[in-house]
């Protein structure tokens, strides 16, 4: 005898680009979305009875149809609308909407921002995950692939040493990271404009903080982000350390006063933390 312990299904990697042409200059929203449903779908799996099975192609079409009617000012608000739509389907007990927003920057021409030409400078993306179930609706937003580097004001010393320690202590090093951040909004929030303030807080703190370690800076960044958004209850940060190692130039009778480095991407230190408001 067997039982179906858990199930979920949906449509993944739905690509959506929305152009706000009614505005001057034009604005563009570029999203990749995942839609998934949980609920009373046991007959679909066990008996092959599809009467409760909303086709994943229908999910995809629903995303496009609702996008036509929605300005998508904030991807979180659009995700909430999608979640409410699918939650109203018979048999659905939980909806999960996950979205990544691919950032575009306006190009300049003749020293002025161009009204309808854009460029994609890097891999940074906005993210959001919407969950809708009997306990309510939760919104977690964030960003991925935020690449930051500073050439000084970073140290790492005073750490324990043993027979396998070769890393020298330093009071002045390059600090470079690739960061993922995810913050949770309190229930009932409808204004998601704070995400730009949160990103600014992360970036400015990284630049200004006198770092004793990446852990030290990570906590300061989380504190600053929460201070910049009263509606965020906690933030989880993960920073991959993009190591820059000082090159030994002594074989060439040259000194290296913290000037020439080799950039390595593997292996890397991964520092993670969740910073939460005190009760």
- What would the mean pLDDT of 138-167 be, rounded to a whole number? 95
Residue 146 and residue 124 in contact, taking contact as beta carbons nearer than 8 Å = yes
What's the pLDDT score for residue 230? 94
pLDDT of residue 200: 93
Q: Is the pLDDT of residue 106 over 90?
A: no
Q: Tell me how far apart the alpha carbons of residues 37 and 75 are, in angstroms, rounded to a whole number.
A: 19
pLDDT of residue 118: 85
Give the whole-angstrom CA distance, residue 110 versus residue 120.
19
Look at residue 279 and tell me whether its pLDDT is greater than 80.
Answer: no
Which of 60, 132, 209, 243 is catalytic? The answer is 243
User: For all residues of the chain together, what is the average pLDDT?
Assistant: 94
243 classed as catalytic: yes
Q: Whose CA is closest to 257, among 177, 172, 169?
A: 172
Asked if the model's pLDDT at residue 265 lies above 90, the reply is: no
Residue 246: pLDDT over 80: yes
Q: Tens of pLDDT along 74-96?
A: 999 999 999 999 999 999 999 99
What integer is the mean pLDDT of 196-200?
A: 94
Average pLDDT over residues 44-73: 96
**Residue count (the chain):** 279
11 in active site: yes
Distance of CA 275 to the CA centre of its chain: 16
Does pTM surpass 0.85? yes
Q: What's the whole-number mean pLDDT along residues 181-202? A: 94
Catalytic-residue membership of 205: no
Flag whether pLDDT at 136 surpasses 80: yes
pLDDT on residue 109: 85
What average pLDDT does range 259-272 have in this prediction?
Answer: 93
Q: Look at residue 267 and tell me whether its pLDDT is greater than 80.
A: yes
Position 129 scores a pLDDT of 98
The larger pLDDT score, comparing residue 111 to residue 233, is at: 233
Catalytic residue among 11, 74, 85, 132: 11
Q: Which of 7, 30, 32, 29 is nearest to 20 (CA)?
A: 29
Domains, the chain, with CATH or none: 8-134 (3.10.270.10), 143-279 (3.10.270.10)
23 has pLDDT over 90: no
Q: Among the options 32, 56, 62, 233, which is catalytic?
A: 56
Listed as own residue / partner, the contacts of 131-136 with beta carbons closer than 8 Å and 24 or more positions apart are: 131/83, 131/94, 131/95, 131/96, 132/80, 132/83, 132/84, 132/86, 132/87, 132/94, 132/95, 132/96, 133/38, 133/93, 133/94, 133/95, 134/93, 136/187
pLDDT at 21: 85
Which pLDDT band holds residue 201 (cuts at 50, 70, 90)?
very high
- Sheet architecture: strand order including 27-39: 9-20, 27-39, 92-102, 125-133, 136-150, 175-185, 232-241, 270-276
């Amino acid at each position: 005898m067997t039982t179906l312990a858990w199930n979920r299904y949906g449509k993944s990697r739905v690509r959506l680009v929305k152009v706000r042409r009614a505005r001057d200059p034009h604005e563009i929203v570029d999203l990749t979305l995942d839609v998934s449903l949980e609920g009373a779908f046991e007959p679909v799996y066990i008996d092959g009875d599809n009467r409760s099975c909303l086709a994943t192609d229908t999910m995809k079409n629903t995303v496009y149809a609702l996008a036509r009617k929605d300005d998508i000012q904030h991807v979180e608000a659009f995700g909430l609308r999608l979640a409410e739509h699918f939650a109203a389907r018979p048999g659905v007990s939980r909806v999960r909407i996950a979205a990544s927003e691919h950032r575009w920057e306006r190009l300049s021409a003749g020293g002025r921002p161009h009204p309808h030409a854009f460029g994609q400078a890097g891999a940074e993306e906005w993210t959001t995950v919407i969950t809708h179930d009997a306990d309510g609706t939760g919104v977690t937003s964030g960003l991925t692939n935020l690449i930051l580097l500073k050439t000084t004001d970073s140290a790492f010393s005073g750490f324990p040493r043993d027979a396998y320690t070769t890393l020298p202590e330093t009071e002045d090093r390059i600090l470079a990271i690739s960061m993922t951040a995810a913050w949770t909004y309190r229930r009932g929030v409808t204004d998601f404009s704070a995400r730009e303030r949160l990103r600014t807080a992360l970036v400015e703190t990284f630049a200004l903080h006198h770092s004793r370690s990446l852990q030290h800076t990570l906590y300061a960044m989380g504190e600053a982000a929460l201070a910049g958004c009263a509606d965020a209850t906690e933030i989880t940060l993960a920073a991959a350390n993009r190591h820059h190692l000082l090159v030994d130039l002594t074989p060439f009778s040259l000194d290296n006063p913290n000037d020439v480095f080799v950039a390595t991407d593997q292996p890397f230190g991964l520092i993670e933390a969740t910073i939460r408001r005190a009760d």
